[in-house]
Amino acid sequence: MVTDGEHVSAALLLDPEALLLCGLMWAGNGHQASDRVCAVLAGADFYDPHHGRLFELIATRRAVGQPTDPASLRSALSAQGSAAALPHRTAESVLLDLATLGVRAEQVLSYADQVLGASYRRQFQAMAAALVHAGETAPEHDLFRIMVAHGKAQRAAWQRRQVLREVLPGDQ
């Protein structure tokens, strides 16, 4: 019989956000693909806000050469006290769930592409809803400007994904 806790952990095996974070935690310093992922993605690309905050911590630590293994992340969050991105108990639970998924660092680009793809779709859906709302409520002389602004934002999101998809020497 599978308990609720086991079911949640098993569901993480199908969650590209969780799998990406696991891979990033175990990627050592100097892992080029992980560094690139951390330079291209943002916390806002994650659907789960806990995952987004944890990603931001990992990216910040990777940028300055600090370790990103689960124990180091837990220590960093503990050191921040009540200002931590994740509450202590939540952090422990999330880190334990993610750390045990068994992802190899070589998989981070694939999972990052999946995370960015899902983010792009969510942004597209939000844009469509915003355009419908603008079509119903905005002054007519503002409609084209609103549409162009949303289009530029979507193009920037698409371009970020293309940057991530470029194959560079040393990518694994």
What digits encode the pLDDT tens for the residues 105-145? 999 999 999 999 999 999 999 999 999 999 999 999 999 99
Flag whether pLDDT at 166 surpasses 90.
Answer: no
What is the Cα–Cα distance from 61 to 24, expressed in whole angstroms? 11
Check residue 96 and give its pLDDT: 93
Flag whether pLDDT at 1 surpasses 50.
Answer: no
Half-sphere exposure of 133 (CA within 13 A, CB side): 8
Flag whether pLDDT at 169 surpasses 90.
Answer: no
Average pLDDT score, the chain: 92
What average pLDDT does this structure show over 34-61?
Answer: 97
Cβ burial, residue 42 (10 Å; 0-12/13-18/19+): middle
At 61-91, the pLDDT tens digits run 999 999 999 999 999 999 999 899 999 889 9
| Sign of the CA dihedral running 97, 18, 67, 49 | negative
What average pLDDT does this structure show over 1-22?
Answer: 77
Check residue 8 and give its pLDDT: 56
Check residue 80 and give its pLDDT: 93
What's the predicted TM-score (pTM) here?
A: 0.88
Check residue 9 and give its pLDDT: 76
**Domains of the chain, with CATH numbers?**
4-165 (1.10.860.10)
